[in-house]
Structure 1
Amino acid sequence: MDEYYDEQYNIGLDEDYDNNDLQKNEILLSQNELYQEFLNRLDKIKDKIGESPQVILNILIFFNFEEQSIYEKLLLDGESDKIKSQLQEQGIYNESEVKFHENIFCSICEQNGIQGFSLNCDHKFCQSCWNQMIEIQFSSQIPLVRCLQDQCFERLPNSFLEQYPNYKQILIKRFMQHDSSITWCPGLNCENVFKYLNFSHSIKCPCGIKFCSKCREEKHYPIPCDILKKVLEYQQSNEYWAALNASKCPQCGRLIQRTEGCFHLKCLCGQHFCFKCSGPWAKDHEKSFYTCPFTNTNKNPSKHAVQLKNELQNVNTNIQNILSSIKNLKLKIKKVQLDSIIEYSEKIINLLKTSKSFLYYKFYLLENNDVSIYEQTFQQFQELMDFFIQILENKIQEIEDNESLKGQFILEFIHFDDSEKKILQNLKIQKKIIKKYIVETLIM
């Protein structure tokens, strides 16, 4: 996978991309700053195209904010004059002004003697009808409002629509989707937006999420974005659902869903087969109708999907359990210094999150290659991590048990000894080894 050896991945393997130098690469933008970024982009396009900001905005909306398409069609395409003529016919090059009127007849609601406004076309409509159309357009995420007269191409100018907060938000969203230097946090209910100078594997948001600036998924280095996307898309597909919830008949290929009962299924074609391994029902199956002797040796396509689901679920459960335990300790424990417990909890949670990207890559390889070496190395990493999680849980339990003595002694002895610290250090070393292996296999 030669494309993997890209400048964006050509950096060290053993850092977490959270140091101060890299943090200077990202700027957290407020909504006003983000809108100013959008206006600055308009100015840059204006300098190249040579039109007014309003016309440039009309062109941007027409081309769905795809800046490169604008340059190709209006500057490089051999038929640019023809395209410009078509745009002019649709009013793209028109610059209307809003004219207010005190006493008009609105031909839409048929009210007379009311306030309203018109554009250069002089089609007059009341404010209520204009506002209804503005609301309809914005609810559909469309940042333009044409004249209410049928077949009229005049449109409300940007300077007028800026008074509506929803308008700016729509422009910002459309702008962000096509600007490679703007990214946003994928965290739940987080609206933080960043501008970055160079690609970053991990942007750390104030909400606590670390994410990739390119694909906006949770930090996944060294897994490339395209591989992560393939696995995530598969998890959302009907194929993945079928792999987890159905079994394929070995004779006719029908997918059969099992809702209850034993593993013994009978297809419409008459074939008897095992739900678990998708193999014909054999005598070995009859030893138990609720277990399958071939689960770990068959080529059933559900095997890898079920494994991915279970392992990811285990990782997420461990993360939630640790977070919950620390939260409870903070609420209950007043006398004990919790710094070391919190510190090591955060470290193991970061390792657990890293293991999720390793799981995605393992699944990708399992579906495409024989990866016994990677599996063995990753399994050692998982086992060592489970061991350290048990150490962490024991220490948390120790604090809770001793706290129940109601302060008869101070629990200053709760700490991590050298052997326990070494386990964590070994985990970090194994993490580097796995990352190195992934990078090397991707470059090959």
Structure 2
Amino acid sequence: MGNTLNTLPQIPQPQQQSQQQEQQQQLPENESLNQEFTCEICIEPTSIPGKKFKNTNKCSHPFCTDCMIKYIRVKLEDDNIGHIKCPAYNCDHALDPLACSSLVGPALFIRWGDVLCEAAIGGVEKCYCPYRNCNVLIVNECGGDPKKCKCPSCKRWFCFQCKSVWHAGFGCEESGELRDRNDVAFGRLAEQRKWNRCPRCKHFVELSEGCQIIKCRCGINFCYKCGKQVHQHWCRCDTTSVCCVWCFRICVLLIFVMFASFLYMWEGQKHGHVRR
């Protein structure tokens, strides 16, 4: 008696199943990209292969690539918006810049990246390097109130407050008047030797020795250490002088209290003798 063999159905392997599913998913997409459609922006029927815009499997609204390029350019250049949403009605999906890089071109893609960077650091104080051959974006990551800063790209000094080239020895309000090279060189020399300026007449003063309180030729007294005008022979920026002043005031107060108590006791003894 012969043995009968029953043929069992072949069970596909997991890799074969995944490949079949990918092929089944890719077929409708390729067919939808090649078939005729009507763009919802220009309302023009299109049957050219590859003209339908694809938003990386997020949404598949019928838009042609020409209209999407114009749409992205308007959002970037006119509206300055980096988070660009799909133009379809009631669609909250955003466009992927990396997926659209080959579509929009390198110049518009770089502009897209710059807008996204500016939006990411919108709440942080920032400026651009004032030198024309650099002009990189610089962010104040450490906080505070910076003034003299060095560009991380070109390694040149600039003023973070007035966003201009570093004006050594001069204030931000005077930076626009420094057109002579001699003024710039003199300002650098004053900064190196740590010269100070009178707060009234703005003349430079060099202290070789002596007290920190300077009497300028314009008639005012100012502190050479902090540059502020003072009306006494000491300044609050000097801890030693402040302590000495307060010690002197306390000593005067103690002497006054002791003298008042002595007078009070002397008056009391005087009235006591009169009563007897």
Q: TM-score normalized by structure 2?
A: 0.45
Bigger relative contact order, structure 1 or 2 (CA pairs below 8 A, ≥6 apart) = 1
Structure number with higher helix proportion:
1
Name which one, 1 or 2, has greater alpha-carbon Rg: 2
Q: TM-score normalized by structure 1?
A: 0.30
